[in-house]
Amino acid sequence: MTTILLFAVLPVLFLTSVASAGYFLLVLPSRWRLPYEESLALLASDDRDALERADRLLGQAVNEGPRGRALNRIRFAQAYVRAMLGTYEPARYGAAATVLDELIAAEGPTPDTAYLELWVQARLGNHDRVTDLYAEHHAVLDARPQSRRIAAVSHLQLAAGHWRRRETDGALHHFDRVRELGELTENIPPEVNDLQLVKGVQAVFDGRTDDAREAFGDARARSVEREMPTVQAELGLLVCDWADGDPAQLGEWLGRLAEQVEHWGEEDESAKEDRATAGRLRTGIAVLRLVALLREWLARPALSGAPTAADFDELRRRVDAVREADPELGDAALVDGLVRYYFALGQPEREQALAVLDDGTELAKGIMLPEVLDLMERERALGGEGDALSRYLTLVAELLDDPDRSEEDRAQFRRLKAKFTAFGDPGDLEEGVAVHQRAAPDDHRRRSQALRRRIELIVYPRIRDLPDDAPAKRALRELLADLDRASGVYAEGAEILHGAEQKLITTTGEILLPEEPEEPEELNDQEPA
């Protein structure tokens, strides 16, 4: 009986086992394999409808309960198709990222999943995440050259953001990563090499000298590492030492930098941008060398005397260097003209200095300092000695026409006027007596004040270079004081005021024309009545 039962049950058990094995090995896998394989045929298409159908088929396959590696393959395909659908609907990129996160958590990163996640995060604009992913999985990503390009794009995007926010260190970090990746290096702006310099310049303007020195030092080290010229960084370091440095040493330093710029321009003749940079540096260094020379003079001991002929020769060389570097820059004329003006030994040299300053105002980048322009206007108003003679003769003619003057005063003024006839035409001076009304006492007081100012303007070009204790200056001060006193007591009699005015006019003529000795009879005639 037992044997009969065994022979009856064993075939049933065998058939059941075979059926179960067929169900689990053939029927169930076919329920997810068929939609999965059908979806794979659609993944190569760029058609949105085809991709949408592939996504639905993959979702159906997942719902059929695959396990293990089969499920991972389906989820990867699902992430891929959703990433492709992101082209039409950007929200799908986020769905693809979610699937990838689950997939990587389940099986760890593989070259395929790491690359797809890198691509999806780049599409989402998560550039920080892209750079972190590449740094974390570069061992598996380096097999795909395209992954380096994706990482380079993200580094460029991050660098641009730091640059816009003036975060120099961050920008340099990402630009350096781009160079290390060796992709898209042509998109690195040439100005990147100047970012540390920009940081240093900004620190200088903010008064943060230590930060500026650190930035320029980093820029110099960076240039040395990349075998590039260090002139700009060296110039920045010099600026940091400008306030407290020794002027002579600064001048020597600038001289060495000027030589480096000349060699730089010779070596980079093919690079237009480098030539322009070298030109700007040459101009800046030449101006600083010129100013350093003035600071060197200023640092000399008090009462050490005026600059020597050798000093002025060096000044001319440095002025010429500025003009050669930039002919349209007015700084050379500004320094040259003011130095000439300050150390002028007389009116001719002073006029030469004013001519230099005047030429500097007509340049494209000319002199614009209000103080200098005001100085030039004042000097033009004063005029030279020729203008002084014209003003003097005009004043004498007016006194000749004054009806309040006595005949004796008019004779004296005519003699004074005649003494200047040999020195040229006095100009458009009116001849003959004009009609004047007699002035009230208050008018005479104001007239005396105006006369004082006119006399000062007339004699200034002649006596401005004389020492304060010179006889001409001392006599003029005494006579002006007499005029003030006479004007104050005019009510006591016009004769006192007229006498003071006559003495002042006569002495002014002697200052302007001291080489004409007077005859004894003329001296007698000049004695006041």
Tell me, what CATH number does 140's domain have?
1.25.40.10
Query: Cα–Cα distance between 126 and 92 in angstroms, integer?
Result: 15
pTM: 0.53
454 and 493 housed in the same domain: yes
461 and 474 housed in the same domain: yes
Strand, helix or coil for residue 244: coil
Residue 8 included in any domain: no
For 44-56, how does the pLDDT look when each residue is reduced to its tens digit (9 = 90+)? 777 888 888 888 8
Domain boundary among 367, 382, 397: 382
347 and 299 housed in the same domain: yes
Q: Give the pLDDT score at 251.
A: 92
369 and 474 housed in the same domain: no
Query: Cα–Cα distance between 292 and 272 in angstroms, integer?
Result: 30
356 and 452 housed in the same domain: no
Residue 193 included in any domain: no
329 and 298 housed in the same domain: yes
Residue 519 included in any domain: yes
What secondary structure letter does DSSP report for 428? S
Chain centroid to Cα 451, Å, comes to 51
Q: Are 133 and 155 in contact (CB under 8 A)?
A: no
Residue 287 included in any domain: yes
Q: Give the pLDDT score at 29.
A: 53
What CATH number did the domain enclosing 369 receive?
1.25.40
Domain boundary among 152, 186, 220: 186
Residue 192 included in any domain: no
Residue 18 included in any domain: no
Residues in the chain with pLDDT < 70?
Answer: 1-32, 65-68, 191-193, 265-274, 381-393, 420-447, 454, 457-465, 488-498, 509-529
The sign of the CA dihedral 463, 373, 283, 244 is positive
Q: Give the pLDDT score at 443.
A: 57
- Beta pairing partners, 329: 365
Query: Crossing angle for the helix pair 272-298 and 231-240, nearest 10 degrees?
Result: 30
Strand, helix or coil for residue 365: strand
141 and 287 housed in the same domain: no
The CA distances from residue 243 to 93, 150, 209, 257, 362, in Å, are 58, 48, 10, 19, 32
Q: Give the pLDDT score at 273.
A: 61
Categorise residue 65: left if φ over 0, alpha if ψ from -120 to 50, beta otherwise.
left
Q: Are 345 and 465 in contact (CB under 8 A)?
A: yes
The sign of the CA dihedral 353, 354, 355, 357 is positive
Q: Give the pLDDT score at 20.
A: 47
Residue 12 included in any domain: no
Chain centroid to Cα 513, Å, comes to 54
Q: How many structural domains compose the chain?
A: 3
Residue with tokens 């010779």: 266
The CA distances from residue 326 to 236, 287, 362, 388, 457, in Å, are 21, 10, 14, 39, 39
Enclosing H/E stretch for 421: none
For 370-395, how does the pLDDT look when each residue is reduced to its tens digit (9 = 90+)? 999 988 888 776 665 555 666 666 77
310 and 449 housed in the same domain: no
Domain boundary among 382, 402, 425: 382
Query: Cα–Cα distance between 80 and 59 in angstroms, integer?
Result: 13
301 and 437 housed in the same domain: no
Contacts of 293 (CB under 8 A, 6+ apart): 247, 251, 314, 315, 318
166 and 53 housed in the same domain: yes
Q: Are 156 and 179 in contact (CB under 8 A)?
A: no
39 and 86 housed in the same domain: yes
Contacts of 230 (CB under 8 A, 6+ apart): 220, 223, 224
172 and 54 housed in the same domain: yes
Q: Give the pLDDT score at 213.
A: 92
Q: Give the structural domain span for 509.
A: 385-526
Residue 7 included in any domain: no
